Structure 1
Amino acid sequence: MTERLVFVYAADSGRLNAWFDAAHKIVSPGTYSCQLCAVTHNPFSMRKEWKQFVDGLSVDCRFIHRDEFQREYPDMDVVLPVVFMEGPSGLSICLDAEGIGACDSVAALIERIQQHCVGKH
């Protein structure tokens, strides 16, 4: 198995949840609970700078939501959002919720991912 980054949002999947999340980002962005979503997406789509970064990475990426993560990894207790490196031995955290929370822009998140995730592998 090749390594890949797994980005786990602190938001649930589905159209209705996406609609509520978009409304929350517009009405009260300061109280939105998923900093990974807040930084990488505007209320309606993925930010261009983020998409270009992800598309240019030398490792594959997977993006999943909280409910999907909980179904696939029911015994894993971790604060979300989080970025894992997935390899032959399973998942290992390369950027935790605190690290993601410290990012106030796409550029800051990209820098942290390059330092803590892709730069190590």
Structure 2
Amino acid sequence: MRLIFVYNANSGKGNAYLDGLHKIISPSTYACSLCELTYGVFLEKKEWKLFRKQEHVEMDFYHRDQFLKKFKSKWLPKYTFPIILSEKEGELEVFLSSEKLNTMETVEVLIETVKKGLASH
């Protein structure tokens, strides 16, 4: 099994810069809770980076535009972003929905939720 993390943001340095500014100027209107949980203004949070390195599951990370391009299919469900999907034997399944991610307030809560989800798979 692998986890696929999809941020509700587009790729590219310009977009990353604008996203960082958005987090500073108007954090309450920033549209990617997964970005907020795993990154500070510009750098990955230490707790998240450590978790990623220590966890024994494959993790892939995509920005919205990258995911839609790579997994383009007329049969692909219409996902809302951000989202975490699990992939097993070529099948994608929602691991953590955008609704659930949007309720999380800290990276520690995200880490614990991912750990519990992995334990139940």
Alignment TM class, shorter chain as reference: over 0.9
**Matching residue's letter, 2:50:** Q
Tell me by how many angstroms 1:39 deviates: 0.9
Instruction: Give the corresponding residue for 2:50.
Output: 52
Residue 87 of structure 1: CA displacement? 1.4
Number of aligned residues? 118
Paired residue secondary structure (2:60): strand
Specify the alignment match of 1:99 in structure 2: 100
Match of 1:87 in 2: 88
* TM-score, normalising length: structure 2: 0.93
Give the structure 2 partner of residue 34 of structure 1: 32
Alpha-carbon distance in 1 for matches of 2:113, 2:15: 28
Can you give the 5+ residue segments of structure 1 that lack an aligned partner in the other structure?
A: none
Following TM superposition, the consecutive aligned residue runs of length 4 or more in structure 1 with deviations greater than 6 angstroms are none
TM-score (norm 1): 0.93
| Counterpart AA for 1:5 | L
5+ residue gaps, structure 2: none
Q: CA RMSD in A?
A: 1.0
Partner of residue 7, structure 1:
5
Q: Distance in 1 between matches of 2:111 and 2:54?
A: 12
